[in-house]
Structure 1
Amino acid sequence: MVQRILEGCPCLLYLNLSCTLLTNKTLQHLQYLSLAYCDRFTDEGFLYLTTGKGCHSLIHLNLSGCTQLTVNGFRYISAGCPALEEIVVNDMLTLSDSCVLALLTRCHCLLAISLLDAPHLSDITFKAVAEAVKLKSLSIEGNYQLTDFSWNALCRSSQGLRRLHAAECPRMTDASLKSVASLQHLRYLNISYCNRVTDVGVQYLTKGCSANELQELNVSHCSHITDISVMRIAQRLCKLHHLNLSYCERLTDSAVEWLGWTSLCSLDLSGCNIQDEVLLACLLLFSRIPENLNFRNLKNNLEHVDISHCVALSDAAVRAFSFYCRGLVALRMVGCFKMTDMAVQYLTSGSQYLRELDVSGCVLLTDLTLRYLERICPPLSSITMACCSRISRYAASKLQPRVTYWEHSSDTPPYWFGYNMGHPVTKPTK
């Protein structure tokens, strides 16, 4: 089948064969490919790339989950694909320093590398990466070995880095962020679950070379970040559009108030202990109008909001969103067990452009909620109502034909949804 596709499509540039049953024989034909989670080919399949039967102009290669590959396989790829610009090797627990070093032998054109869930890579790998290539995008997750040395070397060598995903790298410290702050064109940064990062590291970032470039920042589960960091983010990162502060346990109401002076279009406050009145004050600042004015066409920049597991919030919070966030596109309020049908009524009356809604674990919602949601279908196209025991299957199923994505269950909410005999939310484990 693959052979027929390639013979009949001579201009084909991209082919994704992830999770298929292809074998070594297929590899002699492909030029630009994703082999993610294909486990039937071996190292020898890449010999086609070195013997002239394969293509030496391969640009993109995805080997995620291909744990059968060894150092020899990466050596063959390096020899046969010198023009490779992007490689994705996620979910590969067997990946070692030797594999990456073999790849870098001849692949000196790499611009993007993704190594999610590769826990065995050490500073040796990233020293070699820093010496061999100049990256624009780097993704690492779940690595417990990388130290400040790696981040310093990478940031010095790849000053053009625009995207850095460094989630769950617990040895990243404030010194690491000092190196990151030296980058000239950084637009995306994810340091979630980096628990050694403090306000000092965020200060480096907000005073760094990319303070006027950064558009998306994720500091979720950074337990040492306080209100001071949020203040600095609000004051210095003037182009920031997406901010994730979920489960930053030291944040208080003051942090939320600072956010009102930003121009965010996406905000994640899930797991934060926010009060209704504080959220209202924040939305007033977003809208830049006096509280006593009543503009019917009021709209701010917020389009995507996540207030899941904010167990102190009630219907009043949703009423504020419906009034001040006329352009709201997506709202998640999972585990907000104080929300009632009145909250959904407010939402459907004010949010005319809402497309995605997740009310999972809002145990006080009833079938009346479905009647309100019918008013905005379309534009509402995705509705998730897991663990909503008071919404009947019959009523929920009537809404299903009117949306693209639909989910409903009457299961008992798990304890970390925030509804455990009225007790506060428990921080979920990753």
Structure 2
Amino acid sequence: MMIQRITEGCPCLLYLNLSSTLVTDHSLKAIFRNCLSLQYLSLAHCRRFTDEGFLCLTTEKGARNLTHLNLSECSQMTANGFRYISAGCPSLTEVVINDMPTLSDSCVLALLTSCYCLSSVSLLWCPNLSDVAIKGIAKASNLKFFSIEGNNQITDVSWQALCSHSQGLCRLQAADCPGMTDDSLRYVASLKSLKYLDISLCSRVSDAGIKCLTDGSSTDELHHLSISRCCLVTDNSVRRIARRLRKLYHLNLSYCERLTDPAVELLSGSSICSLDLSGCNIQDQGLAALQRIHLKKIVLAECVNITDTGMEMSDMAVLYLTSGSQYLRELDMSGCTLLTDRSLRHLKRICPPLTSIRMTCCSSISWAAAIKLQARVSHWEYSNFNPSSCFDCSANQ
């Protein structure tokens, strides 16, 4: 009843977000009957409607102008529902279908039946999709943005199809896709407008794949790169990234276990302003190299080998971290168990310009010392719990 009243009273509605509500097929029929100008619709986490709610799209004209549709976690949807959407939404350019373990290749192919304008597709945590679905998307679309995560079925075949048909792709998220290999990155390297790339947890990517990327067509475009937990990547890749990716702003190297202190030194003189070294085997000597990188944000969470010495030594990191840096704005040193109150006394010197500090699970830092920094920054997080329990909880979330 409420949705019917809203849609009847607001016929010019352009944006409607009904995420996590109890809407049913009756609500969808009212929306598509009354809101002829609707452009954005989110039904994420709504589980009470069925395919039948979209059947009216084959006769009504209420979704002809719809460009964005979010159906995340709507696992009750079948191929029939997606076929109705395709028939009734010819202007659809952005679809978000995340967290859908039931999503199959047939559902995706049904959506592509009449949707020829797609430029953005998000399929995070849809584990049942295969190369069939991705090849279908590639052939039917000219994508600018594509996201997929938590899928171990897609292979090099998908990346070859996607990159060859969507040369204008500028954002690619492919985290936790074990089927991505060095050959996959060779196809990705052909993209000329790629600005954002996330291949975290792609365990088969090695230095050879990073070399393809840094020799590719987007070396002057890429500004965000995440290779977190790519366990085969070594310092050689960091050297190539620093030298070849001349406009890179953010680099995530977290939990790359083969990286050593020289990897940080290799970044000297690069364009990087945001760096994540969480869980790396970086020691005090590596931290000292930060003084030659104009960082605004540094994440050192779970760098358990960093000590007070690394934070204060006058010929090393203190030149960067505690001598009034004009660049650093955000610092995360969560889980660095060897840091003590002594380090915080030095950090006070750069608050401001340092505005955000996170030191959760720092078991050797006292509350009394930590609270003294709170008034000096706009964002402050602190806890002295056991690091293993803290980060196990974060990983599960």
Provide the TM-score with structure 1 as the length reference: 0.84
Find the counterpart in structure 1 of residue 26 from structure 2: 25
- Residue by residue, what CA displacement relative to the aligned partner does 1:7-66 show, whole Å, maximum 9, x if unpaired? 444443222111011111221315321110000111011112222153211100000000
Q: 1:14 to 1:235 in 2, by over 3 A?
A: same
Aligned residues of 2:324 and 2:349 also touching (Cα < 8 A)? no
TM-fit CA distance, 1:333? 1.1
- Residue by residue, what CA displacement relative to the aligned partner does 1:399-423 show, whole Å, maximum 9, x if unpaired? xxxxxxxxxxxx54435759xxxxx
Between the aligned partners of 2:311 and 2:16, the Cα distance in structure 1 is 45
Find the counterpart in structure 2 of residue 210 from structure 1: 218
Q: Which runs of 5+ in 2 are unaligned?
A: 33-37, 313-317
> Any residues of structure 2 matched to 1:174-253 within 5 Å, and which?
174-253=182-261
Find the counterpart in structure 2 of residue 328 from structure 1: 328
Between the aligned partners of 1:231 and 1:109, the Cα distance in structure 2 is 40
Give the letter for the 1:312 counterpart. N
> Any residues of structure 2 matched to 1:315-354 within 5 Å, and which?
315-319=308-312, 320=318, 321-323=321-323, 325-354=325-354
Between the aligned partners of 2:61 and 2:161, the Cα distance in structure 1 is 37
Give the letter for the 2:250 counterpart. H
Aligned residues of 1:148 and 1:175 also touching (Cα < 8 A)? yes
- Residue by residue, what CA displacement relative to the aligned partner does 1:275-328 show, whole Å, maximum 9, x if unpaired? 112211x22322xxxxxxxxxxxxx3x122110110111234444323364332
Equivalent of 1:313, from 294, 297, 306?
306
What SS class does the counterpart of residue 260 from structure 1 fall into?
Answer: coil
TM-fit CA distance, 1:375? 3.9
Give the aligned length: 381
Find the counterpart in structure 2 of residue 356 from structure 1: 356
- Residue by residue, what CA displacement relative to the aligned partner does 1:363-392 show, whole Å, maximum 9, x if unpaired? 11113224421441xxx2332223x1xxxx
Between the aligned partners of 1:119 and 1:366, the Cα distance in structure 2 is 44
Provide the TM-score with structure 2 as the length reference: 0.91
Between the aligned partners of 1:369 and 1:11, the Cα distance in structure 2 is 56
Q: Say if 2:178 is the partner of 1:159.
A: no
Q: Which runs of 5+ in 1 are unaligned?
A: 287-299, 389-410, 419-426
Between the aligned partners of 2:310 and 2:391, the Cα distance in structure 1 is 18
What SS class does the counterpart of residue 47 from structure 1 fall into?
Answer: helix
Between the aligned partners of 1:264 and 1:13, the Cα distance in structure 2 is 39
Equivalent of 1:382, from 379, 383, 387?
379
Aligned residues of 1:328 and 1:351 also touching (Cα < 8 A)? no
TM-fit CA distance, 1:339? 1.1
Name whichever of 266-275 and 156-165 sits farther off: 266-275
Equivalent of 1:270, from 263, 278, 281?
278
RMSD: 2.0
Between the aligned partners of 1:155 and 1:144, the Cα distance in structure 2 is 19
Between the aligned partners of 2:167 and 2:272, the Cα distance in structure 1 is 26
What SS class does the counterpart of residue 148 from structure 2 fall into?
Answer: strand
Name whichever of 256-265 and 206-215 sits farther off: 256-265
Name whichever of 102-111 and 252-261 sits farther off: 252-261
TM-fit CA distance, 1:330? 2.0
